[in-house]
Chain A
Amino acid sequence: MKAAVILLPGLNRDRDMIAALTKISGQAPQTVWQTETSIDDDVDLIVIPGGFSYGDYLRCGAIAARMPVMQAVREKAEKGTRVIGVCNGFQILLEAGLLPGALMRNASLKFVCREVRLEVANARTVFTQGYSQGQVIRCPVAHHDGNYFTDADTLAEIEANNQVAFRYTADTNPNGSLNNIAGIVNKAGNVLGMMPHPENLIEPAHGGSDGRALFESALGLVGA
């Protein structure tokens, strides 16, 4: 599978993401700058990394979500291409309307940079099939606006459709997210957004490799 990484001014986890994808797939991902209007047909996985696109001006991810490249991401996503947004990437996918809900300021009002535990809430997605249902993994977080919010009807719908991919364990929820939500997929199951950084836990040098299975799953290296 061929991966592409979206680049926007102000992102700062792009190199980590490119390194993770290169190490896991054995092939460097294509990089796509924000002003580009198309993404190659042979790209099977698009990743939007974390950071502070446009300095978090207006709202986190708001400006980035309206850049030309996001129209290309939307078109690919509608055709079924896999899309992952991590941290600021998750915020961008929400602002672009590719996922439901919004990420608000952390309930503590503090930037959190620490390790949390994630429960794999749905191991049947294309992104989580390398984990077992209910498995608890370690993962780092680093964000100021990760407090997942949506109205009660949408929340009920997300839960009923098993769209929650990852939840913080109740004792490690770092931001006050509703239902401890750390990551969700769209209804079709081909777009994943998550606040934690699995790309920073893929090899022993990171102190663990719990994040590796996510990329192996998304790249079609494990599972069905």
Chain B
Amino acid sequence: MIKARVTVTLKNGVLDPQGKAIEHALGGLGFSGVDSVRQGKVFDVVLQTSDRAKAEAELKAMGEKLLANTVIEDFSVEVI
């Protein structure tokens, strides 16, 4: 089994209203040093294979086909 984490973030330049709202809320809680917040998604995926190269290739395909919308999002794959 291979455990992996796929992280999806908004591309640079794509407006992130949710990140902005979180940023403001942090300010309201007294965290005054926050310069900016961008939010995203994390997917923890467990694969049945033990072949690391195959797993990485498959996770990349999953990112492109479903987990991220590559019009607005980037993703990275990390085998844990």
Contacts and interface: CB of A to CB of B under 8 A. Distances in A.
B47 interface: no
Contacts of A108: 17
A59 B69 contact: yes
Interface in A93-127: 94-95, 100-102, 104-109
A95 B18 CA distance: 20
A150 interface: yes
Interface residues of B, number: 11
Contacts of A58: 66-67
B interface SS class: helix
A45 B52 CA distance: 46
A104 B72 contact: yes
Given A149-B72, A150-B71, A104 B66 contact: no
A103 to B, nearest CB: 9
A109 B71 contact: no
Interface in A36-76: 58-59, 62, 66
B15 interface: yes
B14 interface: yes
Given A102-B71, A102-B72, A150-B71, A66 B66 contact: yes
Contact of B21 (A95, A104, A109): A109
Interface string B32-69: 00000000000000000000000000000000011101
B15 A106 contact: no
Contacts of A149: 14-15, 71-72
Nearest to B70: A102
Contacts of B66: 58, 62, 66
B69 A107 contact: no
Contact of A102 (B17, B21, B69): B69
A176 B71 CA distance: 18
A45 to B, nearest CB: 26
Which residue, of A66, A95, A104, A150, has the highest number of chain B Cβ atoms within 10 A? A104
B30 to A, nearest CB: 22
B69 A62 contact: yes
Contacts of A104: 14-15, 17, 72
Contacts of B67: 58
9 contacts: A62-B66, A66-B65, A66-B66, A105-B17, A106-B17, A107-B17, A109-B18, A109-B21, A176-B17
Given A58-B67, A62-B66, A109-B18, 4 more contacts: A59-B69, A101-B71, A106-B17, A107-B17
